Amino acid sequence: MLIVSLIASKFLLDALVEFDWPIVVYVVILGLVGYGPSVAWWLVASKRWGTGQPIRDVGATPRWSDLGWGPLIWLAAIGTQVVIAIAVIGFDIPISNNTDGISELQADRSYVVAIVITAVIAAPLVEEIVFRGLMMRSLLGRFGPVVAVGIQGVLFGLAHVDPVRGAGNIGLALVLSGVGCALGGFAYLLRRIGPAMVAHSIFNGVAMILVLTGVADRVREENPDPFGSVVGKQIAVVDEANVVEPHGGGDAS
């Protein structure tokens, strides 16, 4: 459901952008259409098939240890992303950047606030609940952990497909599938998704900082081949993080 609603929200946003409404309106539409149905389904599923305690049913009860595991999982996700991104570039697979245009929005404070809230808070919470909470737990009832983690990871990558990116979606989906598998692997090992939520928030938050401060642009200018240095690799790959972009952009990862 999340995959369908996210992709639908992007098509809808792309169709509505011509009306030139306030940018915050588009962010609200993206959030409601993209995440609203999944939140509703989570609550219904918990009441019908679970204990009636939504947070507990998906393993999202917060613990202080989440703050310690989160950064470690984030580093693992970044490492996975770097390896896959290098392979994508090496095989000349089309890949797009889903943070294009964000650095140009620094003057629009209302949009920056809205986009940060969506990317760093809303997206990690909802996406972890759906992919690592509901979906992966359901898959574990039918398949082994390797298959379950792999399937939810691929679906996580596909959820970030955006019509405006064209063939570039191929590489981006592959890279983010790796991130989904890393987050899913730790969620399985820890039997909880709280740490993955923290890691996901850091992941998107770092991407936002790199883009909004212009660091990503400067690194790309100084490194025409960003995969030629360790720092360049990290900047270029983190810059692929799934965060919202204006005018039919991506969704916050």
pLDDT in tens, 37-68: 989 999 999 999 999 999 999 999 999 999 99
211 vs 67, which has greater pLDDT? 67
5 pLDDT above the threshold of 80:
yes
**Least confident residue range of 34-38, 43-47, 118-122, 234-238:** 234-238
Give me the residue label for tokens 């401060």. 213
The whole-angstrom separation of Cα 41 and Cα 49 is: 11
251 pLDDT above the threshold of 90:
no
- Give the pLDDT confidence score for residue 216 in this predicted structure: 64
Tokens of 216: 């990503």
Residues 6+ apart with CB under 8 A from 122: 31, 35, 252
- Spatial contact of 169 and 17, defined as CB atoms under 8 Å apart: no
At how many degrees (to 10) do helices 215-222 and 230-238 cross? 130
**Least confident residue range of 142-146, 198-202, 221-225, 234-238:** 234-238
155 pLDDT above the threshold of 80:
yes
The whole-angstrom separation of Cα 33 and Cα 39 is: 11
The whole-angstrom separation of Cα 252 and Cα 127 is: 9
Give me the residue label for tokens 């599938």. 177
* Mean per-residue pLDDT over the chain, rounded: 80
The whole-angstrom separation of Cα 50 and Cα 42 is: 10
By C-alpha distance, which of 170, 26, 223 is closest to 111? 26
Confidence category of residue 223, pLDDT binned at 50, 70, 90: low
Confidence category of residue 235, pLDDT binned at 50, 70, 90: very low
Mean pLDDT of 69-98: 91
- Give the pLDDT confidence score for residue 95 in this predicted structure: 82
10 vs 242, which has greater pLDDT? 10
Confidence category of residue 210, pLDDT binned at 50, 70, 90: confident
Percent of the chain with pLDDT over 90: 47
Tokens of 108: 């629009």
207 vs 79, which has greater pLDDT? 79
- Spatial contact of 201 and 240, defined as CB atoms under 8 Å apart: no
Task: Show the 3-state SS of 91-126.
Answer: CCCCCCCCCCCHHHHCCCHHHHHHHHHHHHHHHHHH
227 pLDDT above the threshold of 70:
no
214 pLDDT above the threshold of 50:
yes
- Give the pLDDT confidence score for residue 101 in this predicted structure: 53
Give me the residue label for tokens 């943070």. 99
The whole-angstrom separation of Cα 74 and Cα 80 is: 10
Confidence category of residue 224, pLDDT binned at 50, 70, 90: low
72 vs 32, which has greater pLDDT? 72
How many Cα atoms sit within 13 Å of 157 on the Cβ side?
A: 24
pTM for the model: 0.79
Q: For the chain, what is the radius of gyration of the CA atoms?
A: 17
Q: Is 17 exposed, middle or buried (0-12, 13-18, 19+ CB in 10 A)?
A: middle
